[in-house]
Amino acid sequence: MATGQDTGTKNGGAGRTRGRPRSFDRATALEKALMAFWERGYEATSVSDLTRVMGIGAPSLYAAFGDKQSLFDEVVRVYNGTHGAFGERALAEEPTAREAVARLLREAAAVYTDPAHPHGCMVIHAATNCTNPEVEALLRERRNANIAAFEARVRADIAAGLLPAGTDATALARHTGAVIQGMSQQARDGARREELEALAEIAMAIWPHD
C-alpha cells in the first residue's frame, strides 16, 4: 500500500512519484513488537526498543500505529488471536468444562515453555510493574474476561447435570485463573513443560465429580 504525497513529476518528466511505499510489513512489525512486550513487559519496553526491533523510525511507528499505548492495544489483539488463542479454542471445542480446562492447562504448559518465543503469557507478564492505569485496566479486563468464560462453562455444566449442583462455579473459575497465572510465572522462572503438565494434572484433581 502506498503512502505519502500525490504522484508529482520532477522537472516536468514522467518519472518517479514523490510518495514512497511503506517500507515495512505491518504484520511482521506487529509480531516483533509483540515479542518485545512479551519479553520485557509494557513498562520496561521503550519506544526506542520498539523502533529498534521493528526496524522502523519513530515517525513511521507513530504514523502507522499511534503512540506506544495504541501499539500495545493492537499487539494484545494480535496475541489473543494467535499465541494466546488456545484457551478460547479449548472452551469452544471441548464438550465439557472439565475437558476444556484440562486441555487449556496442557496447552498452556506447552505454549508457556516454547523456546520459539518468550516464556509465560504476554498478557500476564506485560502487567508487571505497569504504572499506566489504562494499560492496567486493559490487561485486568482481559484476565477477568477469561475467568468469566471459565465460570460460564462451569455453570452450563452444572445446569446440564455434568457437575454437582453444589459446585462453586466462581471459586472453580478463579482457581483455574490462578493456576494459569501461576504457570505463566513459573515458566518465566524456568519451569519445564513436563513440570507444568504435572502441575496441571494436580490442578484438575480438585474438580468435583457428579
List pLDDT tens digits, range 168-181: 999 999 999 999 99
**pLDDT at position 111 over 60:** yes
Query: Cell 513498562 maps to which residue?
Result: 43
Query: Cell 501461576 maps to which residue?
Result: 182
Task: Please check whether residue 42 is in contact with residue 30, taking contact to mean a CB–CB distance below 8 angstroms.
Answer: no
Task: Please check whether residue 170 is in contact with residue 151, taking contact to mean a CB–CB distance below 8 angstroms.
Answer: yes
The grid coordinates listed for 27 are: 504484520
What does each C-alpha distance from 200 to 20, 110, 121 come to in angstroms? 52, 11, 16
Task: Please report how the helices 97-112 and 193-204 are oriented relative to each other, as an axis angle in degrees rounded to 10.
Answer: 160
Per-residue pLDDT tens digits for 152-201: 999 999 999 999 999 999 999 999 999 999 999 999 999 999 999 999 99
**pLDDT at position 28 over 70:** yes
Give the Cα separation of 142 and 31 in Å (integer).
20
Share of the chain above pLDDT 70, in %: 88
Per-residue pLDDT tens digits for 138-155: 999 999 999 999 999 999
Beta bridge pairs of residue 2: 21
**pLDDT at position 81 over 90:** yes
Task: Please check whether residue 145 is in contact with residue 194, taking contact to mean a CB–CB distance below 8 angstroms.
Answer: no
Per-residue pLDDT tens digits for 33-78: 999 999 999 999 999 999 999 999 999 999 999 999 999 999 999 9
Neighbour-count burial of 4, counting CB atoms closer than 10 A to its CB (0-12 exposed, 13-18 middle, 19+ buried):
exposed
Mean pLDDT, the chain, whole residue set: 89
**pLDDT at position 209 over 80:** no
Please indicate, yes or no, whether the overall pTM of this predicted structure exceeds 0.85: no
pLDDT confidence band for 22 (50 / 70 / 90): low
Give the Cα separation of 148 and 144 in Å (integer).
6
Q: What is the pLDDT of residue 23?
A: 61
SS3 80: helix
SS3 21: strand
pLDDT confidence band for 210 (50 / 70 / 90): low
**pLDDT at position 18 over 90:** no
What does each C-alpha distance from 43 to 77, 80, 82, 139, 162 come to in angstroms? 18, 20, 23, 13, 43
Q: What is the pLDDT of residue 25?
A: 85
**pLDDT at position 20 over 60:** no
